[in-house]
């Protein structure tokens, strides 16, 4: 059961802003995958999207964020799973549920999907994208640690666990599972077989985390 409050409908202005942001990111992703991240300038992305370079930077402060545009979403999802969990649900159970949902939906952050290997090959080919990816993991970890700290303060009945340590272990475990799945997908393994193994590895990862935290 989702205990989060109903979402307020977005205003027309906010919907248009989100559509513009997504369109710029989609066009940038296409250009980066076709020509290589380091070979395409922000000005070329702006021209292809029919906007000014300043508009691009208004939505994406760094060029790398045009491609790795889901970092804020990842931070919000992991922190939100803890903050919006059902009453009495342990944080790790909520995080397990989130990662399984991402897998079942074939969400881009779920680690399994036919389009993911080309995307991550582009990342692997660019030192700037690899560095931004590492920073992104740190941002997710920081957001998750903050949510876990709030959860511990609000519920003294939770196991006494260092929130920063638990966040680091959770992000590392998830990264390890996703990396293994991406390697199998890149090798040509069938998506459904990879998804089945991914689900089992998630289960093992969260089982281990729960044993560690008591």
From residue 21, how far is each of 51, 76, 77 by CA, in Å? 11, 17, 19
Average pLDDT taken over every residue of the chain: 91
From residue 40, how far is each of 29, 56, 59, 83, 116 by CA, in Å? 10, 14, 18, 39, 21
pLDDT band at 195 (very low <50, low <70, confident <90, very high): very high
| The pLDDT of residue 5 is above 50 | no
d(CA 44, CA 51): 10
Question: pLDDT of 33-60, one tens digit each?
Answer: 999 999 999 999 999 999 999 999 999 9
């Amino acid at each position: 059961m989702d205990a989060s409050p109903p979402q307020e409908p977005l205003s027309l202005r906010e919907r248009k802003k989100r559509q513009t942001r997504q369109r710029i990111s989609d066009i940038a992703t296409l250009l980066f995958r076709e020509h290589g991240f380091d070979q395409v300038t922000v000005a070329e992305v702006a021209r292809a999207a029919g906007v000014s370079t300043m508009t691009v930077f208004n939505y994406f402060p760094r060029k790398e964020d045009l491609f790795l545009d889901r970092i804020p979403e990842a931070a919000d999802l992991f922190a939100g799973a803890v903050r919006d969990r059902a009453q009495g649900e342990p944080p790790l159970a909520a995080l397990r549920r989130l990662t399984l949902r991402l897998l079942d939906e074939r969400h881009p952050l779920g680690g399994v999907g036919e389009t993911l290997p080309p995307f991550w090959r582009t990342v692997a080919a660019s030192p700037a994208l690899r560095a931004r990816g590492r920073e992104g993991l740190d941002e997710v970890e920081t957001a998750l640690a903050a949510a876990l700290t709030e959860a511990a303060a609000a519920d003294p009945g939770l196991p006494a666990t260092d929130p920063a340590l638990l966040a680091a272990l959770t992000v590392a475990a998830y990264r390890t599972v996703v990396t293994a799945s991406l390697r199998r997908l890149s090798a040509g393994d069938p998506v459904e077989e990879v998804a089945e193994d991914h689900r089992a590895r998630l289960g093992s990862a969260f089982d281990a985390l729960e044993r560690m935290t008591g």
